[in-house]
């Protein structure tokens, strides 16, 4: 039976690796070894206390090392306005710097923060149009990642990017635009239930969409307004464009009346009361827990999972002010997360999901302990320009985008198919049109250059160094292959597959030949022969079907 009972006992390598892969992007042999010697509760608590931001304020200006977009001040569509004029004259550097910041922080942060941020993004979907709007949107997700879902829902509703993306900036007393109100209910929060009558979807009605749109009238995007609560540029309430009469919702919300506002402060209160009303339904809590489960645990939800995991966690979320961190911790500590609450071989959680391009790339950069060779511990302006403006964008332009993850955002408001589209969910990340770009990741990492274009990227794997530092007895072929697979694959493969990987290493040599080859390298320092061998093993693993899962 599916159980939320906390797992006891040390995790060991297999389960430690599972936790790190699902909860963070920072997975490498030393972290796997570290968490292997902890219990699930110790490991989860340690993860959530391990936050480390390299550039917490986001992109920085290359010349003077100050934030590219300082808080406050006057903003425009091409950069930060100063008395001397605009700092930059093109949106391209902003876009590159913003995406570079997101990727760099996600790779280096040892905590679940960026996994949570991307989970937020998978639910409150947006598409980048104005790069400044997008920058502040991601700053909001970053700030709210360890807070609560209800406050996120309030702030994302008045967020500049969201106002523009779903047209709520056009929703006024002069003409309703129901687009955002509809998606807020149908896709973002309570979700659309079964149709039980004309215009009645169990969780809300068509009339509720219109009433919600009335509540949300009068918010306009505005880069010059800074929200005093978040200190982030936000949309601004304009009472003259707001429907100021009372709003009455349907029986699905207990015929609740929200008093009309005539001031900006009153409009903010209306918004908060509307969100409180929606979040006051247990169906909203259940919808968030369902999506949390699919994102962090498994694409498949059985009746047993619904009863033993989803419903209890929904109650926890509902009764604890939508504190998603509390719920996520409980889930990550449970015997269910480690697949130890049943003996059913057909519902395996470990290795049961296909990696998104984010997991494939970000975790790989960490799994092979690759340091960014363009960034020192105390970077100067030239280093930062190189990484954020030139190198990192090549990863998303030439690998992530082509592997099926458009960094501007999903092409539809439903989100990325790998996160939401039934019945395949994460299997949508893997298809014939993107197969090549997933399989060439190894070549790019070995060369430190994009395979097709030969453009430099800031990461290059050294497998001889990796084996030397990660494998306990590197001159023993069986140990080398076993520990490599323990670190890189979600499950140890059967004997036939194990021998396939061992043959990739040995290339026809005997085990004793490998022993002496490695000893010769240690004595002479000449690594040509062993490098060829360990790079063959690397290619065999990273192009294997097993490596595509986590």
Residue 490: CA count within 13 A, CB half-sphere: 24
In 3D, which of 197, 358, 359, 188 has the Cα closest to residue 278? 188
pTM for the whole structure: 0.93
State residue 432's pLDDT score: 84
Q: What is the pLDDT of residue 79?
A: 42
To the nearest 10 degrees (0 to 180), the angle between helices 149-157 and 264-279 is 140
pLDDT at 375: 66
Strands (E), 168-297: 219-220, 236-237, 247-248, 257-258
pLDDT along the chain (550 residues), means of 10: 95 98 96 98 96 77 59 45 41 74 88 97 90 88 96 97 96 97 98 95 98 98 90 95 98 98 98 98 98 97 96 98 98 97 79 94 86 67 73 75 86 91 92 86 87 80 96 98 97 97 97 97 96 97 95
Q: Are 197 and 181 in contact (CB under 8 A)?
A: no
Residues in the chain: 550
* Domain boundaries defined on the chain: 12-51+284-333, 112-280, 357-447, 468-548
The pLDDT assigned to 53 comes to 82
d(CA 519, CA 474): 9
- For residue range 109-135, list pLDDT tens digits in order: 999 999 999 999 999 999 987 878 888
CA dist list (Å): 254 to 125, 138, 176, 369: 29, 35, 24, 55
Asked if 287 contacts 174 with a C-beta cutoff of 8 angstroms, the reply is no
- Residue 359's H or E segment, with its range, is none
Look at residue 397 in the predicted model and tell me its pLDDT: 74
Q: Tokens for 229?
A: 């609560």
């Amino acid at each position: 039976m599916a159980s939320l009972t906390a797992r006891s006992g040390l995790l060991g390598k297999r389960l430690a690796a599972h936790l790190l892969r699902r909860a963070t992007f920072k997975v490498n042999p030393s972290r796997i070894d570290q968490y292997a010697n902890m219990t699930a509760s110790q490991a989860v608590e340690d993860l959530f206390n391990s936050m480390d931001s390299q550039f917490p304020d986001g992109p920085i200006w290359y010349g003077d090392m100050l934030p590219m977009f300082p808080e406050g001040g006057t903003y425009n569509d091409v950069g930060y306005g100063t008395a001397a004029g605009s700092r930059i004259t093109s949106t391209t550097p902003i876009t590159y710097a913003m995406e570079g910041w997101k990727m760099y922080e996600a790779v280096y942060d040892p905590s679940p923060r960026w996994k949570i941020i991307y989970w937020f993004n998978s639910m409150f979907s947006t598409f980048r149009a104005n790069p400044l709007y997008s920058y502040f949107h991601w700053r909001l997700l970053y700030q709210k990642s360890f807070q609560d879902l209800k406050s996120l829902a309030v702030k994302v509703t008045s967020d500049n990017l969201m106002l523009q993306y779903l047209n709520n900036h056009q929703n006024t007393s002069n003409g309703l635009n129901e687009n955002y109100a509809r998606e807020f209910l149908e896709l973002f929060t309570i979700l659309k239930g079964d149709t039980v009558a004309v215009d009645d979807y169990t969780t809300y009605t068509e009339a509720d969409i219109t009433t919600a749109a009335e509540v949300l009238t009068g918010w306009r995007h505005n880069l010059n307004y800074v929200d005093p609560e978040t200190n982030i540029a936000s949309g601004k309430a304009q009472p003259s464009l707001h429907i100021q009469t009372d709003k009455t919702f349907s029986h699905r919300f207990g015929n609740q009346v929200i008093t009309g506002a005539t001031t900006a402060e009153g409009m903010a209160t209306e918004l908060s009361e509307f969100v409180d009303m929606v979040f006051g339904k247990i169906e909203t809590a259940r919808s968030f827990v369902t999506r949390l489960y699919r994102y962090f645990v498994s694409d498949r939800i059985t009746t047993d999972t619904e009863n033993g995991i989803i419903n209890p966690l929904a109650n926890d979320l509902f009764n604890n002010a939508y504190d998603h961190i509390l719920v996520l911790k409980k889930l990550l500590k449970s015997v269910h997360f480690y697949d130890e609450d049943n003996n059913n071989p057909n519902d395996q959680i470990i290795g049961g999901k296909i990696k998104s391009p984010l997991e494939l790339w970000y975790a790989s950069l960490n799994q092979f302990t690759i340091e960014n060779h363009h960034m020192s511990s105390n970077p100067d302006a030239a280093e930062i320009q190189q990484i954020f403006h030139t190198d990192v964008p090549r990863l998303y332009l030439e690998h992530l985008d082509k592997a099926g993850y458009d960094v501007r955002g999903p092409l539809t408001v439903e989100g990325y198919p790998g996160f939401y589209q039934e019945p395949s969910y994460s299997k949508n990340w893997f298809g014939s049109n993107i197969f090549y770009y997933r399989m060439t990741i190894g070549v790019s990492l070995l060369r430190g250059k994009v395979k097709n274009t030969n453009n430099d990227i800031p990461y290059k794997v050294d497998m001889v160094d990796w084996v030397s530092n990660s494998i306990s007895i590197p001159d023993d072929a069986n140990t080398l292959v076993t520990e490599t697979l323990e670190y890189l694959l979600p499950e140890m493969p059967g004997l036939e597959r194990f021998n396939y990987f061992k043959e990739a290493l040995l290339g026809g040599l005997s085990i004793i030949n490998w022993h002496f080859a490695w000893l010769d390298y240690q004595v002479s320092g000449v690594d040509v022969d062993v490098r060829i061998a360990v790079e063959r093993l690397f290619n065999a693993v990273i192009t294997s079907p097993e490596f595509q899962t986590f």
